[in-house]
Amino acid sequence: MVGLFRLVSGCPGPSGFGSASTAQEVTEGIDGTNLTALVTGGASGIGLETSRVLALRGVHVIIGARNMKAANEAKNKIVRENPRARIDVLELDLCSTSSIRSFADNFIALHLPLNILINNAGIMFCPFQLSQDGLEVQFATNHIGHFLLTNLLLDTMKNTVKATGIQGRVVNLSSIAHNYCYKKGIRFHKINDKQGYSEKRAYGQSKLANILHANELSRRLQEEGVNITVNSVHPGLIMTPLFRHSAAVMKLLKFFSFFLWKNVPQGAATTCYVALHPRLNGVTGKYFADCNEMRPSSYARNESLARELWEFSNKLISSVSVP
């Protein structure tokens, strides 16, 4: 009830920020000129706002996007507003393991540091379909794509930490929808089955996977003694291109629940807060909403499920692509 009151009222939580806070407000006064960040899906919606605000704080931002025309338009828009912005774009299709590997190779070839990885891109409520790798498309894009990308770039992040002494941060965009998933959380043995498929539960499953991935990666990095934090966030309810598969239904829902919805600058706030704020130094394996730590579902806190998902994801990637 406290969380709902804060959401509706915009009342700040322990962090000093709340649902009404914007990305610019939560990063006010932070100097990111010595940082490089990669934002997947950074050409539209809250990804674009995240890229814009990080660049405003001096961060060198790399936008990974499937639509290069939109990505270049986003870059130009940011630079017009902020001529000092450092923005680069690289092609990335998270639905394709070969595209992800090519992206990682291209990024590594730039010899750039990587301080912040924001796994932002996603798709939502899609009718059943398989990716070109033969994987259910929401699970493939929202989880497997980011799981593989993170693994491919992790050595770059570790090397950056060693060279600079600056803590690295990985931020996975999840959703409150992780509560609405399949029975037992992840249907490992039916991940690509059309029978029993629910577009909403499949989305919830992928968002649950985002949290489990963050938690397990956090645990592994802590065991290694690596100074990289990994957290997951719920950005809030925002009308973005994510809703293209259910626009009419969501507009109707928004009409009756307008007090629960955020605008895009508010929707990007939690991502930017977790990615950039010094208050989060050393904080890892947590789930945030409205710029405050929240308790996710019991499935999301299940360490055995997180380890099982990690092994399952590695086997799935090995079965559909050649390293």
For the stretch 90-107, pLDDT in tens is 999 999 999 999 999 999
The pair of structure tokens assigned to 210 is 């985002």
How far apart are the C-alpha atoms of 199 and 154, rounded to whole Å? 31
C-alpha dihedral (75, 64, 43, 16), degrees to nearest 10? -100
DSSP state for residue 172 in the 8-state scheme: E
Quick check: helix, strand or coil at residue 186? Answer: coil
What pLDDT, on the 0 to 100 scale, is given for residue 322? 54
CB 132 within 8 A of CB 170: no
Can you give the pLDDT at residue 10?
Answer: 59
Q: What is the CA radius of gyration of the chain?
A: 18
For 56-89, write each residue's pLDDT tens digit: 999 999 999 999 999 999 999 999 999 999 999 9
* Whole-number pLDDT of residue 323: 45
Report how far apart, in Å, the C-alpha atoms of 170 and of each of 25, 167, 222, 243, 284 are: 21, 10, 13, 25, 9
Query: What is the residue extent of each domain of the chain?
Result: 1-320
Residues 6 or more apart whose CB falls under 8 angstroms from that of 195 comprise none
- DSSP-based three-state secondary structure for 234: strand
52's tokens: 């814009």
Residue-level pLDDT at 229: 98
Helix (H, G, I), strand (E, B) or coil at 287: strand
1-320: which CATH topology? Rossmann fold (3.40.50)
pLDDT for residue 182: 86
pLDDT (tens place) for every residue of the chain, 323 residues total? 344 444 444 578 999 999 999 999 999 999 999 999 999 999 999 999 999 999 999 999 999 999 999 999 999 999 999 999 999 999 999 999 999 999 999 999 999 999 999 999 999 999 999 999 999 999 999 999 999 999 999 999 999 999 999 999 999 999 999 998 988 899 999 999 999 999 999 999 999 999 999 999 999 999 999 999 999 999 998 754 444 444 454 444 443 334 456 999 999 999 999 999 999 999 999 999 999 999 999 999 999 999 999 999 999 999 986 54
What global pTM score does this model have? 0.91
The residues carrying an active-site annotation are: 197
C-alpha span between 256 and 25 (Å, rounded): 28
DSSP calls for 162-205: HHH-PPEEEEEE--GGGGS-BTTB--GGGTT-STT--HHHHHHH
Q: Are 123 and 137 in contact (CB under 8 A)?
A: yes
With contact defined as beta carbons under 8 Å apart, do 75 and 89 qualify?
yes
